């Protein structure tokens, strides 16, 4: 655990993220929960805990600067809880909804939220297309769908003035070219994730102002 702790601390330091010791311990406890439940619920293909920290925990935390002003976040197709759970740990003041259609995955998410004491987390089982009534400042996903599909099936969840934060690998030129006309690309940022060894980009999108 001490090796994992130093691995996490070094990664956070390289990314300029300051978290309290209790928050760091929550992140490490989440890694343990992923490991414990993985064989039953197929949450991640990664078996090495250090890889889980770089590929899942630190990668998820690249979202932090983009939710600085958010009042509500939904993680669509949350799966094993990335990026939602690491963000919920880092931002206990931010309401975070975790949505997945797979009831096994949401069973894990519910258990993780309870064991980690995440009172700001809401777990929802179902398809995003069927969700109505709730709205969020930030709608995020990590490798959930192509950008055009992502914005089309989640647009009813977008609060006024909100944005989509799509976490992507290589620069998604083709996906951006296929976006529907009512959606604007605000920015595309290349991200640096310690020990990841792969390209990462954050794509921020908003509805175009038609007034």
- d(C-alpha 106, C-alpha 157), whole Å: 19
DSSP 58: I
Name the binding residues for S-adenosyl-L-methionine: 77, 82, 128-129, 142
Q: Assess whether the previous peptide bond of 142 is cis (omega < 30° from 0).
A: no
Could you give the CA distance from residue 134 to residue 189 in angstroms, rounded to a whole number?
28
Binding residues: 77, 82, 128-129, 142
Per DSSP, 48 falls in state: -
User: Is residue 82 within 8 Å of residue 96, measured between CB atoms?
Assistant: no
């Amino acid at each position: 655990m001490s090796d994992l702790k130093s691995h996490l601390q070094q990664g956070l330091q390289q990314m300029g993220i300051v978290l309290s010791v209790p928050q760091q311990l929550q992140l490490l406890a989440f890694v343990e929960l992923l490991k414990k439940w993985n064989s039953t619920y197929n949450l991640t293909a990664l078996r090495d805990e250090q890889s889980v920290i770089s590929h899942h925990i630190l990668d998820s935390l690249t979202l932090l600067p983009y939710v600085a002003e958010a009042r509500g976040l939904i993680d669509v197709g949350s799966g094993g809880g990335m990026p939602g759970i690491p963000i919920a740990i880092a931002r206990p003041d931010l309401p975070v909804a975790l949505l997945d259609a797979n009831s096994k995955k949401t069973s894990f998410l519910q258990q993780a939220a309870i064991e980690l004491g995440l009172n700001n987390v809401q777990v929802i089982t179902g398809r995003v297309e069927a969700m109505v009534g709730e709205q969020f400042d930030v709608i995020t996903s990590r490798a959930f769908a192509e950008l055009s599909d992502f914005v089309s099936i989640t647009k009813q969840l977008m609060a006024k003035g909100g944005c989509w934060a799509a976490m992507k690998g290589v620069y998604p030129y083709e996906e951006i070219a296929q976006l529907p006309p009512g959606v604007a690309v605000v920015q595309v940022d290349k991200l640096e994730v310690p020990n990841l060894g792969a390209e990462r980009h954050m794509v921020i999108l908003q509805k175009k102002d038609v007034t």
